[in-house]
């Protein structure tokens, strides 16, 4: 708790009369406040319980609760939780001043039963709370949930007291019916750190619900939960849980001879390396280690790769090797040419095509037909995901004025465009999941206050968001085969067993995963965005834990391509190694890989001819057997590993480096060639295809669309094509 909050609480405590005996006999927290008359619920009259913690942390056969009556009719048990919750909502909403709500919380904190030391263990910690919070839950012999909680923050103790008053003694089904939206209605704004404190309501509730699910499963004799594979990073090292995690961890400490071999080639021949986060773990492990010896190695999302290549050329690199899919090397080649570095060679990592399901979706006749409809609805703007080919960008830009976007800036790009161009129609593509998620996000914004909307974009309010929704269109037939893997079964398992963890999700995931991560984001436990957004979120949460300087275990569910883990682990290890926390404080960071239970793991030792193929959209892919022990990939959800990205092998990188510069002919098929084709208007594909990227650069620098693009949208030529 920060000092200003502590001061506020100290001054408030003088107006409240807490129980003078801290060792008082525990009683049911009736939560009566002196000046508030609680409603008389007939269903409460038949029950009088003394809520006492058991003498040991293990449940016993005897109930730890002494009740004069424990029988309810079905209607009574159904109404009990909603009635209590309704009372709390009415009570807190009646207090117009935040200071009065704080007083009420501090008063209720005095009713919270002391928590035995045996319950103050790491496994009982509630993640995501600024303060330390412990929660114990048991299912009693009558099938009712029993909860105990405590915190080192008095305000948080008040939160816990209220939640326990509402949910203690309820059947599990009633505990699971309460939503974080119900708690939002309590209107508990605090003078200092309001958002982080209010998140405590939500995070404690989610932990209560997770415990209820687990206890019911145990009672019903259901199979124990098989955890997803994970990597646990601590200052002592890395622990892999599960064979898939072991495979990832194997390359975090690469062969030093491979590292030195690569560094020698890069230094002698002045070769720069730009790689995407989704690289094969072996390649990323070697590159991460090599970064310490050669500065011109950069691992990032697709947006930054071309920028990094330009900086490397400016620093004297003669060649740039691109570890990604083909549209990434195309972008690097075109941007280097635009920057005046046409003599710098650009090399891919395969002599075959390295595709991308999204880029392929945007190069189909169906996508051009989609843009044809856009060209007939002026004023129109085409917002295209950067994960598309330069050729697609060029053709699209001549049909409809086009600006590229990334998953980290797409929302701001669209909102700015709607604010800057009256009556604009926006056509987003090609990622259907991202388009649907953006539309859903804007729908959710209509339920926000104007002040909350202004925090997202100052030019908008509720009316403007509602007015833009009918003018937002997105392509319906483009998906990323990696993020498509986050299907129903995986999401259901995350919701059941990892709901109290930090959830990360790329904007390209299906709607179920998006909704789950957005709910977590609202209570400070999630992030939805780009790969860089995910990395930054994890780093921020780890740093916050280190700053608190108390033992903590942070768990993050990785909702994107598993190749991200190398950069995440490297960043986390750096933070854990550089902290100056006390010797007693120990922070562990667990990275969880969602994997489908029906993942394919077996193959014949004699032949691969028996393997089937899977159709994902228009793409036919062979089924690749996964790791052992039931872990691997499937179309229903899995290890989220891109087969195209894995074409960028360490051997290919070393091969290209070995043959440069004297034996270019041996790697000629690896070179990223310049576009020689022309657009329908007779212009260079490279020139026209780069313009939407440059429009995005302008937006990133100024937060406004360039005048040229606005003019193109407002005044298309007589043939329906934008003026370039």
Which residue in 288, 425, 303, 423 sits closest to 370, CA to CA? 425
Residue in this structure with the two tokens 């909702």, named with its chain if needed: 559
| CB atoms near residue 210 (< 10 Å) | 20
**Could you give the CA distance from residue 61 to residue 140 in angstroms, rounded to a whole number?**
9
DSSP designation for 722: P
Q: What is the DSSP string of 645-703?
A: GGG--HHHHHHHHHHTTTTGGGGGGGB-PPP--B-TTS-BHHHHHHHHHHHHHHHHHHS
| Assigned token pair, 64 | 């730890």
Q: What is the DSSP string of 84-120?
A: HHHHHHHHHHT--SHHHHHHHHHHHHTTSPPPPGGG-
**Could you give the CA distance from residue 383 to residue 439 in angstroms, rounded to a whole number?**
14
In order of 131, 378, 681, 718, the CA distances from 722 in angstroms are: 56, 11, 11, 9
Query: From the centroid of its chain, how far is CA 227?
Result: 19
Evaluate if pTM is beyond 0.85.
no
In order of 17, 104, 210, 539, the CA distances from 523 in angstroms are: 32, 22, 16, 18
Going across the sheet that includes 345-347, the strands are 297-300, 271-276, 319-323, 345-347
Query: From the centroid of its chain, how far is CA 506?
Result: 6
**Could you give the CA distance from residue 356 to residue 388 in angstroms, rounded to a whole number?**
8
User: Under DSSP, is residue 322 helix (H, G, I), strand (E, B) or coil?
Assistant: strand
User: Under DSSP, is residue 238 helix (H, G, I), strand (E, B) or coil?
Assistant: strand
**Could you give the CA distance from residue 227 to residue 162 in angstroms, rounded to a whole number?**
32
Helix axis angle, 74-93 relative to 154-167, nearest 10°? 150
Q: Which pLDDT score is estimated for 49?
A: 37
| CB atoms near residue 86 (< 10 Å) | 16
Q: Which pLDDT score is estimated for 78?
A: 52
Whether the CA torsion 381, 385, 388, 389 is positive or negative: it is: positive
Q: Which pLDDT score is estimated for 182?
A: 80
In order of 2, 212, 555, the CA distances from 125 in angstroms are: 20, 16, 12
| Assigned token pair, 252 | 């975090």
Q: Which pLDDT score is estimated for 723?
A: 46
Q: Which pLDDT score is estimated for 149?
A: 94
Q: Say if residues 374 and 427 touch (Cβ distance below 8 Å).
A: yes
Cis peptide before 430, with omega less than 30 degrees from 0?
yes
Query: Could you report the per-residue pLDDT of 13-35, keeping only the tens digit for each?
Result: 333 333 333 333 334 343 333 33
Residue in this structure with the two tokens 């740039």, named with its chain if needed: 320
**Could you give the CA distance from residue 400 to residue 34 in angstroms, rounded to a whole number?**
67
Q: Say if residues 671 and 345 touch (Cβ distance below 8 Å).
A: yes
What amino acid positions are annotated as catalytic residues?
129
Q: What is the largest CA-CA distance in the chain?
A: 91
For the chain, give the number of residues.
724
Class of residue 584 by CB neighbours under 10 A (exposed 0-12, middle 13-18, buried 19+): exposed
Q: Which pLDDT score is estimated for 100?
A: 86
User: Under DSSP, is residue 64 helix (H, G, I), strand (E, B) or coil?
Assistant: coil
Show the low-confidence residues of the chain (pLDDT under 70): 1-79, 185-198, 223-225, 483-485, 487, 579-584, 596-641, 717-724
| Assigned token pair, 644 | 């195209």
């Amino acid at each position: 708790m920060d000092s200003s909050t502590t001061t506020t609480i100290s001054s408030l405590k003088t107006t409240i009369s807490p129980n003078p005996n801290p060792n008082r006999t525990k009683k049911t927290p009736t939560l009566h406040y002196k000046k508030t008359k609680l409603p008389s619920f007939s269903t409460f009259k038949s029950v009088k319980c003394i809520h006492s913690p058991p003498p040991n942390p293990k449940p016993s056969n005897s109930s730890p609760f002494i009740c004069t009556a424990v029988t309810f009719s079905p209607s009574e048990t159904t109404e009990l939780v909603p009635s209590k919750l309704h009372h709390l909502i009415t009570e807190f909403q009646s207090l117009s001043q935040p200071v009065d709500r704080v007083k009420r919380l501090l008063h209720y904190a005095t009713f919270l039963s002391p928590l035995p030391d045996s319950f103050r263990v790491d496994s009982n910690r509630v993640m995501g709370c600024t303060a330390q919070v412990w929660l114990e839950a048991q299912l009693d012999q009558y099938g009712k949930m029993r909860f105990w909680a405590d915190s080192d923050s008095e305000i948080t103790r008040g939160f816990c007291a209220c939640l326990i008053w509402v949910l203690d003694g309820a059947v599990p089904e009633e505990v699971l019916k309460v939503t974080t939206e119900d708690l939002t209605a309590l209107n508990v704004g605090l003078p200092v750190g309001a958002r982080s404190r209010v998140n405590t309501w939500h995070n404690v509730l989610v932990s209560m619900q997770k415990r209820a699910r687990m206890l019911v499963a145990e009672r019903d004799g259901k199979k124990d939960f098989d955890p997803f594979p994970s990597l646990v990073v601590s200052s002592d090292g890395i622990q892999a849980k599960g064979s898939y995690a072991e495979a990832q961890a194997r390359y975090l400490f690469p062969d030093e001879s491979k590292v030195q071999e690569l560094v020698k080639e890069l230094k002698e021949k002045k070769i720069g390396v730009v790689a995407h986060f989704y690289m094969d773990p072996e390649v990323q492990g070697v590159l991460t280690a090599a970064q310490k010896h050669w500065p011109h190695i950069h691992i990032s999302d697709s947006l930054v790769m071309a920028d990094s290549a330009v900086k490397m050329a400016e620093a004297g690199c003669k060649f740039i090797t691109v570890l990604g899919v083909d549209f990434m090397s195309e972008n690097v080649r075109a941007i280097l040419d635009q920057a005046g570095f046409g003599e710098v060679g650009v090399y891919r990592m395969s002599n075959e095509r390295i595709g991308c399901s999204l880029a392929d979706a945007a190069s189909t006749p169906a996508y051009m037909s989609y843009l044809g409809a856009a060209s007939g609805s002026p004023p129109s703007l085409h917002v295209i995901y950067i994960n598309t080919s330069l050729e697609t960008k060029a053709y699209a830009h001549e049909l409809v004025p086009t600006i590229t976007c990334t998953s980290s800036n797409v929302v701001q790009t669209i909102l700015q465009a709607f604010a800057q161009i009256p009556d604009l129609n926006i056509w987003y593509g090609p990622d259907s999941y991202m388009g649907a998620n953006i539309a859903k996000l804007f729908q959710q914004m209509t339920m926000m206050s104007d002040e909350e909307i202004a925090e997202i974009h100052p030019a908008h309010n509720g009316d403007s968001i509602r007015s833009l929704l009918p003018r937002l269109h997105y392509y319906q037939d483009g998906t990323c085969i990696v993020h498509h893997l986050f299907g129903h079964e995986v999401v259901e398992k995350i919701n059941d067993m990892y709901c109290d963890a930090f959830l990360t999700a790329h904007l390209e995931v299906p709607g179920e995963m998006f909704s789950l991560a957005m709910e977590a984001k609202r209570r400070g436990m999630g992030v939805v965005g780009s790969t860089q957004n995910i990395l930054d979120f994890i780093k921020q949460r780890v740093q916050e834990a280190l700053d608190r300087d108390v033992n903590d275990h942070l768990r993050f569910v990785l909702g994107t391509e598993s190749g991200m883990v190398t950069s995440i682990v490297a960043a986390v290890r750096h933070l854990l190694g550089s902290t100056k926390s006390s010797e007693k404080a120990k922070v562990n960071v667990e990275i969880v890989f969602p994997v489908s239970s029906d993942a394919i793991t077996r193959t014949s030792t004699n032949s691969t001819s028996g393997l089937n193929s899977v159709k994902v959209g228009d793409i036919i892919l062979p089924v690749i057997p996964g790791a052992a022990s039931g872990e691997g990939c499937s179309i229903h959800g899995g290890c989220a590993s891109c087969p195209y990205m894995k074409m960028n092998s360490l051997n290919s990188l070393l091969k290209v480096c070995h043959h440069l510069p004297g034996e270019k002919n041996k790697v000629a098929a690896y070179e990223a060639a310049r576009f020689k084709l022309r657009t329908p208007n007779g212009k260079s594909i490279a020139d026209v295809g780069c313009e939407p990227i440059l429009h995005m650069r302008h937006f990133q620098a100024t937060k406004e669309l360039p005048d040229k693009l606005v003019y193109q949208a407002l005044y298309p030529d007589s043939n329906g094509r934008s003026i370039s």
